[in-house]
Amino acid sequence: MKRKDVLILLLHLPTGAQKQLMSPIQIMKSLFLFKMEMKLPDTDFYKFEPYLYGPCSFDVYLDLIELKNEGIIDTELSPWGWKYYRLTSKGEKVANEIIENTSKEVLNELKSIKKLVMSKNFIELLKYVYAKYPEYAKNSIINLEVVEK
């Protein structure tokens, strides 16, 4: 399965009553958790490295730009200037085609991870990822011990 297909499915899959916009950090951490849970090799998926907010793959940002240029996703700016991503109607059609060739295991894992990620605020999400994969927290600029006080 192509990594862009996973990204498209991530944006497509609902987490509850409605589909939600996803922030770059939510997308990044979802793709990281998916890779780790599915035990995907770097050669077949994104290669993550410890960075400012934990695991990061700059290829995710490149794929988001490409998908936006192709009209598959678009962005919405929050009042404070953050970009949030969602599928366009063209992207929804692409996602439905991808689903037809995707195993239930992959879909269930991705849906479960998205639901988990979307249920947490920024700090809760980092705490979860850092606790589960501490080796990816070593370059973080967020000191969770200070944040908790």
Q: Domains plus CATH for the chain?
A: 3-148 (1.10.10.10)
Q: Please check whether residue 12 is in contact with residue 88, taking contact to mean a CB–CB distance below 8 angstroms.
A: no
Burial (CB < 10 A; 0-12, 13-18, 19+), residue 73, is: buried
Residues 6+ apart with CB under 8 A from 143: none
Q: Which amino acid is at 34?
A: F
Q: What is the mean pLDDT of residues 46-53?
A: 96
Q: Which helix (H) or strand (E) holds 75?
A: strand 73-77
Using CA atoms of 130, 13, 25, 148 in order, give the dihedral in degrees to the nearest 10. -50
Q: Please check whether residue 21 is in contact with residue 10, taking contact to mean a CB–CB distance below 8 angstroms.
A: no
Residue 87 in 3-state DSSP? strand
pLDDT band of residue 25 (cuts 50, 70, 90) is: very high
What pLDDT digit, counting tens, does each position of 65-109 carry?
Answer: 999 999 999 999 988 888 999 999 999 999 999 999 999 999 999
Spell out the alpha helix ranges (H) of 70-121.
89-100, 104-118
How high is the mean pLDDT of the chain?
93
Q: Check whether 120 has a pLDDT greater than 70.
A: yes
Q: Check whether 139 has a pLDDT greater than 60.
A: yes
Residue 56, number of CB atoms within 10 A of its CB? 22
